[in-house]
Amino acid sequence: MKKVLSKYLRPYYGRMLMGFVIKFIGTIMDLCLPWILAYMIDTVIPQSRRNDIFIWGFVMLVCSVLALTFNVIANRVASRVARDTTETIRHDLFEKVMWLSNAKTDAFTKPSLISRLTTDTYNVHQMLGRVQRLGVRAPILVIGGILVTLTLDPVLTLVLVSVMPVTTFVTYYFSRKSIPMYNALQRAVDQFVRLLREDIARIRVIKALSKTGYEEQKYDTLNKKVVTLERKADVTMAVVNPATNLFLNLGLVLVVLVGAYRVNQGSSEVGKILAFLTYFTIILNAMINISKMFVIISKAVASANRIMEVIEVSDEMLPKLCEKLAEDEAYIRFDHVTFSYQSTEAEPNLTDISFSLIKGETLGIIGATGSGKSTLAALLMRFYDIDQGNIYIEGEDIRTMPTGRLREKFGVVFQNDTIFEDSIAENVRMGRTLSEEDIKRAIGHAKAKEFVEEAGRGYDNHINIRGANLSGGQKQRILIARALAAQPDILILDDSSSALDYKTDAALRHELAEHFADTTKLIIAQRVSSILHADRIMVLEDGKMIGYGTHEELLECCEVYREIRDSQM
């Protein structure tokens, strides 16, 4: 929370100050009115000066207009500051999330990141606006009220002020107590978001298995949890308001009692006590507004902390100092690479992988489900940093390259790749500077031309959320077109022809051989036929290389490869 203030509000201190000054003037104008009124009743009216009545009436009118103008302007300034601050916070948070390493994303979890970006930034926005709008008037009224009562009777003022520490303590205590509760609430909201996302994405399965009742129950549990936590936090904060009210009113009773003694002694007058009571009402209302603000702030503090937690997480994939291998003839080289997703695991996910490829060569990777094929591709693109060994591209350790420069070399299709809700052309373009020609050519290479052109509006045809209006094979071909569109130096296809029929698959391989001869290719596949013609084939099992060579070599010396081949022929 402090960080939000110091980091994000600092640029607006000037504007906020201006806003406060304007609001201050507006509030003073507001407060002038009762003062003029008292003057009229006490002084002007008894003197029966008709003209003066009109003059003072007019002054009141002017004050009202000024109060309106200044308050509106001040609100505008406040809303602007809240807008700009929130925009920056949200931008920074999203930027951080976009650049967050996969390991950290896994740790925060996606649903949590989503709710931090949405509900948490919203809470902060709301707080910033409200506190600025309410936060000036109330303190002015309290301080002003106390100052005026001091001139009336300092002793009585001290009596009144003596209860303030108690109310302050109560407000502080309960706000402190509620912050962790709001924290817990936001965590429950994370779970809520997670369940909704899961259920929406898998609605077909839920319906097919008639599990709507079950999902409703699960949802109900979470719904109850969120509601209970909300209630707990709110009920805790509900004490503050009546308590403030009570203590101040008790202070008032004290004022009456002490006042009685002082009047009896002749050191005060009844009129003063009366006036005192009027000002007291103003102070009381202002104090209640201040305590309301604390409720809003407590809720936002929990959210602000969650936002800052992400923004400030140290997440650097440190670039290593340059360590170029002298004149490496290999384009890609893995040198004794070992890696685990979690250090707690007994067996590394990949153990001691070494191989090298010359530019334009094709590596086929085959192996049982879960043997580490996709992990290998993720490491080459540096989604995770390896534990041991080195990975070189053109003799450069990939950790010495900025990730942007590294990943520019790639065209990739993941196993569970994402189709965005956009046109076909935009899905292929992926924000890169590619011409229409490039995109059409890529779609042609990916053997997607026919169905794309058949579809209503061709390349501008809109793809539904998660590619729902495409078949599995169509989706894969769009993804392949995306990977090919920028003529990548390295192409990774991770099981990306699983939904293609053999004919299309074969045609695709043909295209790759013909038009992408300079591209170094990593092809992960289940079918031997997909990698049969690769220059090198790697056989993985439990994260270890148990075979490496050409198709013929492997048939001769790698039993597992032979078994795989036999299972498919």
User: Using CB under 8 A, which residues numbered 59 to 78 contact other proteins?
Assistant: 60-61, 63-65, 67-68, 71-72, 75-76
Site string for other proteins, 360-399 (x = CB under 8 A): ------xxxxx--xx------x-x----------------
* CA-closest candidate to residue 162, choices 258, 88, 234: 258
Judged by CB, which is closer to other proteins: 335, or 483?
A: 483
The minimum distance between CB 102 and other proteins, in angstroms, equals 7
The minimum distance between CB 363 and other proteins, in angstroms, equals 17
Contacts (CB under 8 A) with other proteins, residues 32-61: 33-34, 37, 40-41, 44-46, 48, 50, 53-54, 56-57, 60-61
The minimum distance between CB 8 and other proteins, in angstroms, equals 13
9-17, 321-329, 504-512, 515-523 -> range binding other proteins (CB under 8 A): 504-512
138-146, 147-155, 227-235, 306-314 -> range binding other proteins (CB under 8 A): 227-235
Q: Is residue 523 involved in binding other proteins (CB under 8 A)?
A: no
Q: How many residues does the chain have?
A: 569
The minimum distance between CB 396 and other proteins, in angstroms, equals 17
Judged by CB, which is closer to other proteins: 14, or 431?
A: 431
State the pairing for strand pair 362-367/520-524: parallel
One-letter amino acid for residue 484 of the chain: L
Contacts (CB under 8 A) with other proteins, residues 84-143: 84, 86-87, 90-91, 94-95, 97-100, 102, 105-106, 109-110, 113-115, 117-119, 122, 125, 129, 133
218, 299, 302 from 223: Cα distances, Å = 9, 19, 20
Contacts (CB under 8 A) with other proteins, residues 424-443: 430-432
The minimum distance between CB 327 and other proteins, in angstroms, equals 28
- Is residue 540 within 8 Å of residue 373, measured between CB atoms? yes
What φ, ψ does residue 545 adopt, rounded to 5°? -80, 115
Judged by CB, which is closer to other proteins: 325, or 434?
A: 434
Contacts (CB under 8 A) with other proteins, residues 145-184: none
Helices (H), 343-455: 373-380, 403-408, 424-429, 436-445, 449-454
Q: Which two tokens stand for residue 123?
A: 């809470």
- Is residue 93 within 8 Å of residue 311, measured between CB atoms? yes
Judged by CB, which is closer to other proteins: 327, or 454?
A: 454
The minimum distance between CB 536 and other proteins, in angstroms, equals 19
E-assigned strands of 196-249? none
The minimum distance between CB 384 and other proteins, in angstroms, equals 8
Residue 61, burial from CB neighbour count under 10 angstroms (0-12, 13-18, 19+): exposed
Q: Is residue 469 involved in binding other proteins (CB under 8 A)?
A: yes
The minimum distance between CB 437 and other proteins, in angstroms, equals 19
Q: Among 174, 279, 294, 414, indicate the residue that binds other proteins (CB under 8 A).
A: 414
Considering only the C-alpha atoms of the chain, give the largest distance between any 2 of them, rounded to a whole number of Å: 120
One-letter amino acid for residue 219 of the chain: Y
Helices (H), 239-269: 240-265
Bridge partners of residue 544, in order along the sequence? 541
The minimum distance between CB 87 and other proteins, in angstroms, equals 5
Give the angle subtended at the CA of 216 by the CAs of 214 and 219, to the nearest 5°.
110
Contacts (CB under 8 A) with other proteins, residues 235-294: 235, 238-239, 241-243, 245-246, 249-250, 252-253, 256-257, 259-261, 263-266, 269-270, 273-274, 277, 285
Judged by CB, which is closer to other proteins: 7, or 466?
A: 466
Task: Read off the DSSP letter of residue 430.
Answer: T
* CA-closest candidate to residue 304, choices 182, 457, 147, 420: 182
C-alpha neighbours within 13 Å on the C-beta side of residue 376: 35
Rounded-to-10 torsion of CA 431, 435, 441, 443 = 30
Judged by CB, which is closer to other proteins: 109, or 183?
A: 109
